[in-house]
């Protein structure tokens, strides 16, 4: 074990279009290098798995070297190597796993294949310290919108609800395309929405009707919202009217934030917890952060939000989860573990 600061762990993240290498000692962030391939996907309007995999291959070693130099750490000093085992794109996951396995064998270090989504919860440890004995977490990203019950970040996490179709991030990308905005859609819509009226258009709030409460109380659905925006814009264009893109963006964003935050606060009440953690790439969205802060404060729930730079996919979140797993004495993963694109949230360590 490293010094009293806690386990020194290298984290490798390659689930989608960011190659992330992070190094932490306990809950101290020493390095966080991210190489994004977003620019290579722009012309396709979304992530192309094969392109992402090739980008990971090119970026992995340079990112690793930069992280080691930034942290002033020699790989021989590590207490363990953590890597995203899932969920994510199969080819992209395999690149990260292969790199982690090679390092584990070459350095004779234990390997920990961890859950990408739980990494988004664990990364807050770097900003705000240990989690309470029990809390709720709202994860919002390009591929996932989930409400979690967290009892133990290293082994006891359960899912209260999740998206049943498009995740929030996917809806942002699709609506951005309808409005002629750049990919990725999240930042583009967030910026445009600041100029619009969020009450201009009454877009639907999915799975909030009374009939949905029994089966989908904590689930999300953004497919209908995306379709409603598309039809509204198409109707305006067919009628020869200029589309008020800022108002559309603001009204769409308000609908997303309204549903996400309302159900998250309801989940806290249901669980009887007084802490809610916000994580995932869409957690950097300004309206979501503001509205959630207002609604949690109104009911006496403490809101924990990692800094925006730690919300998107990165190696630091995998490293700090790995460090927590090592400190908890969890058994390392076998070198034979494979990538699991559909890894369930209840599986913290493969």
Q: Give 224-276 pLDDT, tens digit per residue.
A: 999 999 999 999 999 999 999 999 999 999 999 999 999 999 999 999 999 99
> If pLDDT is split at 50, 70 and 90, which confidence band does 1 have?
very low
Q: At what angle do helices 223-238 and 168-178 cross, to 10 degrees?
A: 10
Strand 8-13 relative to strand 18-25: parallel, antiparallel, unpaired? antiparallel
341, two tokens: 């694109």
Classified as helix, coil or strand, 241 is coil
The pLDDT assigned to 2 comes to 46
17, two tokens: 């279009």
The pLDDT assigned to 3 comes to 45
How many other CB atoms are there within 10 angstroms of residue 300's CB atom? 8
With tokens 């292969």, the residue in question is: 98
Average pLDDT over the chain reads 95
Do the domains 8-123+314-327 and 135-307 sit in the same CATH topology, yes or no?
yes
Give the CA distances from residue 62 to residues 19, 52, 56, in Å, rounded to whole numbers and listed in that order: 10, 16, 10
308, two tokens: 């925006």
| Cα pseudo-dihedral 79, 85, 89, 95, rounded to 10 | 50
> If pLDDT is split at 50, 70 and 90, which confidence band does 4 have?
low
140, two tokens: 């919002």
Which pTM was predicted?
A: 0.94
Distance of CA 252 to the CA centre of its chain: 21
Task: Please report, in angstroms and rounded to a whole number, the separation of the first and last CA atoms in the chain.
Answer: 22
> What CATH architecture does domain 8-123+314-327 belong to?
2-Layer Sandwich (3.30)
The domain locations on the chain are 8-123+314-327, 135-307
Q: Could you tell me how many helices (H) and strands (E) the chain has, helices first? A: 12, 10
Classified as helix, coil or strand, 67 is helix
Query: How far apart (Å, rounded) are the C-alpha atoms in residues 317 and 20?
Result: 9
Is 133 a residue whose pLDDT tops 80?
yes
Contact 122, 153 (CB under 8 A): yes
Instruction: Name the superfamily (CATH) of residues 135-307.
Output: ATPase, nucleotide binding domain (3.30.420.40)
> If pLDDT is split at 50, 70 and 90, which confidence band does 111 have?
very high
Q: Give 84-99 pLDDT, tens digit per residue.
A: 999 999 999 999 999 9
């Amino acid at each position: 074990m490293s010094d009293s600061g806690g386990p020194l762990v290298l984290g490798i993240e390659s689930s989608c279009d960011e190659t992330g290498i992070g190094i932490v000692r306990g809950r101290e962030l020493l390095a966080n290098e991210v190489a994004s391939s977003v620019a290579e996907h722009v012309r396709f309007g979304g992530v192309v798995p094969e392109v992402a995999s090739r980008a990971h291959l090119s970026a992995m070693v340079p990112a690793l070297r930069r992280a080691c130099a930034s942290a002033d750490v020699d790989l021989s000093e590590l207490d363990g190597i953590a890597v995203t085992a899932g969920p994510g794109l199969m080819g992209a996951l395999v690149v990260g796993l292969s790199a982690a396995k090679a390092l584990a064998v070459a350095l004779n270090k234990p390997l920990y294949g961890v859950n990408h989504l739980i990494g988004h919860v664990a990364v807050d440890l770097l900003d705000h310290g240990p989690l309470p004995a029990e809390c709720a977490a709202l994860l919002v990203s390009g591929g996932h919108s989930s409400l979690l019950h967290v009892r133990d970040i290293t082994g006891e996490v359960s899912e209260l609800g999740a998206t049943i179709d498009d995740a929030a991030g996917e809806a942002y990308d699709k609506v951005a395309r309808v409005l002629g905005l750049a990919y990725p859609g999240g930042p583009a819509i967030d910026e445009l929405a600041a100029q619009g009226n969020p009450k201009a258009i009454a877009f639907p709030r999915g799975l909030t009707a009374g009939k949905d409460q029994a089966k989908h109380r904590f689930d999300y659905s953004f497919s209908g919202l995306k379709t409603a925006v598309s039809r509204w814009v198409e109707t305006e264009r067919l009628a020869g009217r200029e589309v008020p893109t800022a108002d559309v963006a603001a009204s769409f964003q308000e609908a997303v934030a309204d549903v996400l935050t309302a159900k998250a606060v309801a989940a806290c009440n249901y669980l009887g917890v007084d802490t809610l953690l916000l994580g995932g790439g869409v957690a950097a969205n300004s309206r979501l952060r503001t509205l959630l802060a207002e609604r949690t404060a109104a009911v006496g729930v403490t809101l924990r939000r990692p800094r925006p730079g730690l919300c998107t996919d990165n190696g630091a979140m995998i490293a700090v989860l790995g460090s927590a797993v090592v400190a908890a004495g969890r058994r390392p993963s076998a070198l034979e573990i494979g990538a699991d694109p559909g890894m369930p949230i209840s599986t913290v360590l493969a």
